[in-house]
Every structure is written in structure tokens, then in C-alpha cells.
Structure 1
Amino acid sequence: MKKFLRIISLVCVISLLLGFAVVTKAEEPSASIDIQAKSAVLMEQSTGKVLFEVNSHEKLPPASVTKVMTMVLIMEAIDNGKISFDDLVTCSEYAASMGGSQVYLEPGEQMTVQDMLKAIAVASGNDASVAMAEHICGSEEAFVKAMNDKAKELGMNDTNFVNCNGLDTENHYTSAYDIALMSRELLKYPKIHDYLTIWIDSLREGKFGLANTNKLVRFYKGANGIKTGSTSKALYCLSASAQRDGMQLIATIMAAPTSSQRFSSASKLLDYGFAQYAVVRGVEKDEAVGEINVSKGMYPKVKLQTAAEFNLLVEKGKQGSIDKKVNITDNVMAPVEKGQKVGDIVFSSNGEEIGKVDVVTAEAIEKITVGKVFNKLVKRWLNARN
């Protein structure tokens, strides 16, 4: 049976590759875009600014676009060191029982976190999603609670998750705006693009073929994610991302009547954004800002950096220039904590303030004491002798 399913998966991959075509011809820039879906949002990733929206806060079933949040929590767990890409994940009987899109995991079968992520991002595996939920939180129920907690943290006020894979169930909903918010969060992890941009791949040492359900990854210039979803209740949904000329856009589509309409609608949104807008860079997060003196510290100076990034989204042809003024104190008294605010950078355009970013210490500096000075001198002496 398993061998038969693998053969079927390879046939499906070939069929998808040969049978799909999507039109991505650029639209003329317009404030009115023909979107063939019940709800839609276009958002710029670095600023979070909404460039276009239709029924953006309507609560609708998201189908497998739910897995955007599942991947957010997976990447967060990896980033925090709770799990690693090489960890082995064991599939439970419950995870193996999931219907819909799957990679046909068997109870007791093991895959690495890396392969599970591939199964989720590329093949939209419901079984892999539940297996990862159980691996991280012990149960899908606990993982779903973490999903809803993260949604609140991100300001996703139109959302309630009941499962981690998006299978239709009562009271499981989100909005196009909230999908853009969690997609924006997912894109903060650069490594996720290794999975979101896969076109074709395989699992089980090449025996199980995969084809990306997000066809824009193959057919839209600059596309780099994110996730599709479809059920009889949700219809056709999509969170699509693309990057050109240093600008990252997110287009979310909910309840499109057909699969091709969700892709064409997302393409229209992305075309509009790239044609009409540009990002002017201010500063990057953790960008060096020099150093200041430290009074009564173990070291005489402390390095400074920016606490966040700052970008300005502007209409094309109106970029102008951003002026920035650095305001920092001359010195600071030890002890100094890492991340301690010592000033800010104020950004302005045409004489008007448009934003600011805190300047913070890049390291901790202890307060000097006689004992610490003695230890320091001893270490220097020993190093010199060696």
C-alpha cells in the first residue's frame, strides 16, 4: 500500500508540473484592482503598511493557510534552541490518522524536523503538522493554545485556531489581515525560505515526490513563499510573498472561487505593489552606532547599536531623502546592561519627523571594583608569561 501511494505521489507531481499555467502579466497601476475573492490584503513586510484591502477583517476559514502559524512556532522553537533541524520526530497514531493533504506518515515512522518542515511547506502535510505539534508541545491541544497565544501577541484580533493544520472544523477562523500579520512574522526567519521556495523535491530518500502547492513560487518573478489552502468550506486561499528591488510584499487571498483565481488575484496585488511603491532604507536592526565612555566600568567604552530597523514606504517617484539625527548621551555610569537605552535616532523628511529608533548598548559592562581590577591584572600577567 505504501509503495502504491508513493507511485501515486510521483504521478501527481508530474501532472502538476505539466498541467499548470498561471498568467503573471503586469497590470497597469491602479487604485482599483479586480480581485476575484471574498477577502484580500496587500501588505509591505518591513513596515506592516497595508497597501490594498477588501473585507480585510472578515472572519473566514483559512484551510491550510493555518500552517503559516504552525511554521511560525516551529521556526521560533528552532530559534530558541528548543528543537533543531536534525531532531527526529516520531509520528503518533493520531498524527497518522489525519485526512486531506498528507505525506502518508505511518505510526512510529520517524522524520527529521527538516523533512517535516518540507512536508508542511511544500506538500501541506496535515499529518506532518500534527506530528510537529506533538513534538514541540506534547499534544496538538497544547500547540494550538500556543498558536492562539502567538496570535494575540501579533495583534491578530480576528483569529481563533482550533487545530494546527486547517482542516474544516467549527470555530476555526482568521482574516486576510491576520494572515498577513502571521506571514510577516514567518518571513522574519530567513531560513524558512529554504522550504517555502522549493518547487519539487522528495522525502524518504527520493521515494516520495513533492510538488509545491504554491505555484507562484515557479511562475511569478521574485516569489519566495508562502502557503496555499483549500477546502469545500474555505474555498481557495493563499498567502503569497515576493521580493523585488529590496521590497518584500505579502498578498493574502481568502475564499476565491477557483484555484487559478486565487493565484491571478494575488499576482495582481503584487504587480500593483511593485509598480506603485518603493522602500527607502533608514537603518537595520543591530546596526553599529559607535561607542560612548563608561564611568567606573571594567572597560572605558561601550559599543552602541540600533534597537530596531526603520524603513519608509513611499510612492514611486516621491522617494526624496530621509534625514536622520543621532541623539546619544556622552557617557554612561557602570554597571551597564546590554540593550540599555542611551539615546535615539530621529528620522525626518522635508523637515517633518517620520519616526525614531532607540540607540542601545550592544554589550554589558560591569562596575569596576578592587577585586575585579586585581583579577584582571593577574590574567594579563599570566597571559604575558605564556
Structure 2
Amino acid sequence: MFLKIPINYPFALKIALLAFFCLPFTQINAETEILIPAPPRLAASSYILLDADSQRVLAEKNADEVLPPASLTKIMTVYIAFRELKNNRLSLDEMVTVSEKAWRTPGSKMFIEVNKQVKVEDLLKGIVIQSGNDASVAIAEHIAGDERTFAEMMNQQARRLGMSSTHFANSTGLPAPNEHYTTARDLALLTRALIREFPEYYRWDKEKEFTFNNITQKNRNTLLWRDESVDGVKTGHTEAAGYCLVASAKREDMRLISVVLGTKSKSARANESQTLLNYGFRFFETHKLYDANTILTTARVWKGASEVVNLGLADDMYVTISRRHYKEMKATTHVDLKLLAPIKVGDNLGTVNVMLRDKIITSQPLIALNAIEKGSFFQRAYDSALMLIKLR
């Protein structure tokens, strides 16, 4: 069955429409086309602009090209540390003994000293804010015993997150040809996961400076000074990678993630990232349409202990559209008319499609929010007869 639900209706009215009306879908006759300016052309090897909630890609170029990530690697390094904190396998006050290897690691440093002990929280701020290679190795060794084992943990998480074109060889991003690589798209996926899963630690990404061992270093993400909506994420640079930046900004209820790889200078990576973010915020808007695990409609269940199952979504539904077209959206549901018990919570029983003009712009499965056990012999027999009459 198909049900029309205007997006801008009050929630209670949406439910009423879903529950009691069965209407054929009618296409919207567009009098004018939806016009969006082409994305800007950036002076970068690869880039992508992603809405963090709807996961719609708003702009991209060579987003799947495999490239060295430089210090953008540290997004995964802290992601793993944050997981360890969340799972109580690590604490912020825990002390880490600095190895000679960590102390000798070349490149950017937070200036920890060999054989000294440093708090996990300070090491993580040294990675996030100061981009310390020494801190990255120290935390990797503390979590996994050695950096090679930690790199395998990084690769396991990359696979779990769907980063299909990524492989890590170390915790820092120091060059490792043919062993250490990723893509702009994979980095956007990782950054989205970091922001969504660990907001209590992601707040460190917007701190502009950090002092350790009486040495104050500024955050290398210069967008933090020029754009109040920017609150992260990470810079990177090696000769092979060029100047790179993963940035995220939130304006009102819309969060965008930009990944810019392979620019020619520090100023270029900031300027190109700002251009990309401004484009997304200027021409698009994101809306939350429905909450997860909330009843959107009900459906008839046959041969069950109950005749009605509640249907909703497993995840919040967001949509990103061009500006000023929100009221033109329509939502439709399709539910199988022959739903048979037993039904388990989470079973996929239909679909919600959101349409703008005559195109589906997002879709999510409708799932069972409650279980329905198989009915008694008499209930099953009665429904079998009724189905012959009503579902011919």
C-alpha cells in the first residue's frame, strides 16, 4: 500500500494519515527545474564534501583515488583511543611511559621525554591539537604493545567502517610507500564516525592551542580562527601527500565534512576547504524528517497473536536538498499486504521513500518495532479464510 505524507505536516497528523488513509502516489508536476550551481573547482588532487547526517555527497573530485594521508592518519589513531576509553579499557588519568622509539619519532612533536610518564589525556590533546608524532607512537604502544599491532587494529576498524580503499602501516602518517594509503571518501567516513560516536572528545578538535612541558603550540587548522562554525578536524603534510585538511563545520542544524587532499600550501588547503564548506552551506539544507524507533504507521498481521504491528525506522531519517524546496517533498510508504506471524523486532517489512518532484531522494526500510508471536490454531485458521476473501 502507498501512503502520502507531506513532510511539513505536524507529527501527529503524519501518523493519522499513515494509519488511516491509503492513497495512490501522484507525481508532482514541476513547473520549474531545481537548479544548483556546479561545485567549485578546487586546486587539489582529491576532495569530497559530505553531509554528516544524511550522508549525501555534495561535491567530489577523485574521491576514490588512493593517496598518502600524512597526519590525517591520526584521526584513526585517536578514534581507536576513544573506543578504548568508551569500553573502559583506557582512562584519561592513566599514565603512559614514553619509550625511546616514541621520543625519537621524527616530524611534528608534543615534546614528551623518554622514560617520563604522561597522562593519556595529555597525549590525546598532543595528537589532536599539536599533531604530535611522538604522542601518537606513545599512545599506540600503550594500547597495543607496539605500533605494528596498533596498525592492525587501525586496519580492523577501517574495514568495520567500510573504508574499503585504506591501509595503515603506522599511527603517525609518516611515509610508508604502498603500505600506508587512503582516499578522501574513506577519510570522510572515518571523520563522520569520530564526530558521531565521541562528541565528548571531539570537542578537543576546536581548541586553538595546547601547552605541554611549558611549550605552547597552536592548532594547525587555521580555519578555527577564520570561521566560527568550524570545529575540527585535522591537518596533514608530507612531500608525497602535499598539504591536506579534513574540516568539519556546523551551521544551525547542518554539519558538513570536507576532505581536501594534495594542495600546494598551508594557505591553499585552508582556502579550498573554506570554499567547499561555503558552497555546501550556501546551496543546500538538511532536515531531520523522522526519529528512529518511533511509530510511523501500523500494518495488519495475519495468523498472529496480535493483528497489528507497529512500524518505524532503525535510524533517524535525514535528507539534504537544495535550499527552498522543503515544502515540495513528499514521503510515501510501501508495506507488504501479506505480513505473516511470527514477526521479530527489527524485521524489514516495508520502505519509506522521500520524493522531491518526481525523484526518490532518500529511502529507508520500515522495520517492526514490536514482536508478533504466531497465533493459536483457531486464529491461524480464521485468518487463512479471511485472506482468501480480502487478498484475492
Quote the residue 1:209 is aligned against: 216
**Counterpart pick for 1:314 among 306, 318, 321:** 321
State whether structure 2 residue 185 is matched by structure 1 residue 183: no
Quote the residue 2:74 is aligned against: 67
Unaligned runs of 5+ in 2: 1-35, 372-392
Distance 1:331 1:76 in 2: 40
State whether structure 2 residue 207 is matched by structure 1 residue 198: yes
Quote the residue 2:277 is aligned against: 270
Sort the Cα spacing of 1:154 and 1:342 in 2 relative to 1 into closer, same or farther, 3 A.
closer
Q: CA deviation at 1:330?
A: 12
Q: CA deviation at 1:98?
A: 0.7
Taking the TM superposition and a 5 Å limit, the aligned residue runs for 1:89-108 are: 89-108=96-115
2:260 and 2:269 in contact (8 A); partners too: yes
Quote the residue 1:383 is aligned against: none
Taking the TM superposition and a 5 Å limit, the aligned residue runs for 1:1-386 are: 30-171=37-178, 172-189=180-197, 190-204=199-213, 207-285=214-292, 306-319=313-326, 320-323=328-331, 340-341=346-347, 346-349=352-355, 354-359=362-367
Q: Secondary structure at the match of 2:248?
A: strand
Quote the residue 1:377 is aligned against: none
Distance 2:207 2:369 in 1: 39
Q: Secondary structure at the match of 2:196?
A: coil
Whichever residue aligns with residue 147 of structure 1, its letter is M
Q: CA deviation at 1:193?
A: 2.6
Q: CA deviation at 1:280?
A: 1.8
Q: Deviations over 1:11-70 (max 9, x none)?
A: xxxxxxxxxxxxxxxxxx841413121111111112222211122222211110111111
Distance 2:120 2:350 in 1: 40
Say how many residue pairs are matched: 328
Sort the Cα spacing of 1:141 and 1:340 in 2 relative to 1 into closer, same or farther, 3 A.
same
Distance 1:342 1:63 in 2: 42
Distance 2:115 2:292 in 1: 43
Whichever residue aligns with residue 112 of structure 2, its letter is L
Q: CA deviation at 1:274?
A: 0.5
Sort the Cα spacing of 1:34 and 1:111 in 2 relative to 1 into closer, same or farther, 3 A.
same
Whichever residue aligns with residue 191 of structure 2, its letter is S
Sort the Cα spacing of 1:352 and 1:259 in 2 relative to 1 into closer, same or farther, 3 A.
closer
Whichever residue aligns with residue 196 of structure 1, its letter is D
Distance 1:183 1:255 in 2: 18
Cα-Cα RMSD: 3.3
Sort the Cα spacing of 1:132 and 1:303 in 2 relative to 1 into closer, same or farther, 3 A.
farther
Q: Deviations over 1:288-326 (max 9, x none)?
A: 77999xx99xxxxx9998521211111112223453659
Distance 1:108 1:360 in 2: 56
Distance 2:103 2:130 in 1: 15
Distance 1:99 1:252 in 2: 25
Sort the Cα spacing of 1:326 and 1:59 in 2 relative to 1 into closer, same or farther, 3 A.
closer
1:65 and 1:229 in contact (8 A); partners too: yes
Q: Secondary structure at the match of 1:187?
A: helix
Unaligned runs of 5+ in 1: 1-28, 297-301, 365-386
After TM superposition, the structure 1 stretch with the greater mean CA deviation from structure 2, 183-192 or 347-356, is 347-356
Quote the residue 1:13 is aligned against: none
After TM superposition, the structure 1 stretch with the greater mean CA deviation from structure 2, 153-162 or 208-217, is 153-162
Q: CA deviation at 1:333?
A: 8.0
1:64 and 1:167 in contact (8 A); partners too: yes
